[in-house]
Amino acid sequence: MVAVFATSLLGCSTGGDEAIGPSTTAADADPSPSTEATDPPPSPDDSADPGDSGDADADDAEPTDATAPAALLEQLAIADEDLVDGETSELREQGLQVVNQITLDYCGFTFTTEKERLFRHQVNVYLDETYVASSEAVLYSPGSAEKAMDEVRQAISECPAGVATNSRVAGVPDLIYEAEPLPADLLTSLADDHIAVHVTASTTDGRSQDTTMIYQRRGDVLIGTYGQQHRAVPLAEAVARRLAAASPADVGD
């Protein structure tokens, strides 16, 4: 949740992107759940070419109606039809990678569900080359997406008011967080399980950054949309429609 703040408040770049929303590299950070050396599941980037699998029976496998996880997340991502004039979208650098990428980070909270992520797909939206918003779809191990949403709620509710907390992400300064729920009348078509807040993060020397964060879950899929409120809300609602239309078997619902 904090890379957007680190980029704006420090005037630095994270991974070559503009301000990009929560996911950021954890390679230089203290070990977190997503970077434990426990042989995490391969991200789509690391998946072997099926043609090189050497499985003699692979071609005889029964067909299935289930959508492959990587393809599912791509289908749920922001699409060209969601954009307004002048906007473009592109896959974020390392947007398919799970290992050494952080999805959830807020107010120093330890998100144990980071290690339960199996696949992710993050897209950035730009208006005339200026960052506007980002959407990150994540597939978790069974039951873990619901727990991740619970952890987000806990992180927000337990964040001490007016106290600067240390992030687990390298390069992010101590930040003071203030979160306000978005008015319900702005959120007409999100998933039943959702969190929508306007967050102000401030440094101890008075600099601050505002962003809207919207998390939605169905089954084992969690989708976060981050950015300027006037675009984050409609983009999140567009993603919600695709999430609602997805096969229950695909999303683990």
Return the minimum-mean-pLDDT range out of 41-45, 99-103, 120-124, 208-212: 41-45
| The pLDDT of residue 49 | 42
According to CATH, the topology of domain 3-36+67-251 is: Protein Transport Mog1p; Chain A (3.40.1000)
Q: pLDDT exceeding 90 applies to what percent of the chain?
A: 69
- Closest to 116 measured CA to CA, from 126, 103, 105, 128: 103
CB-CB contact of 32 with 168 (8 Å): yes
208 exposed, middle or buried (CB, 10 Å; 0-12, 13-18, 19+)? middle
248 pLDDT exceeds 90?
Answer: yes
DSSP H or E stretch at residue 240 = helix 229-245
Give how far the C-alpha of residue 209 lies from the chain's centroid of Cα atoms, to the nearest Å. 18
- Average pLDDT for residues 241-250, to the nearest whole number? 96
Of all residues in the chain, the percent with pLDDT exceeding 70 is 74
Q: Domains of the chain: which residue ranges? A: 3-36+67-251
CA–CA gap between residue 35 and residue 24 (Å, rounded): 12
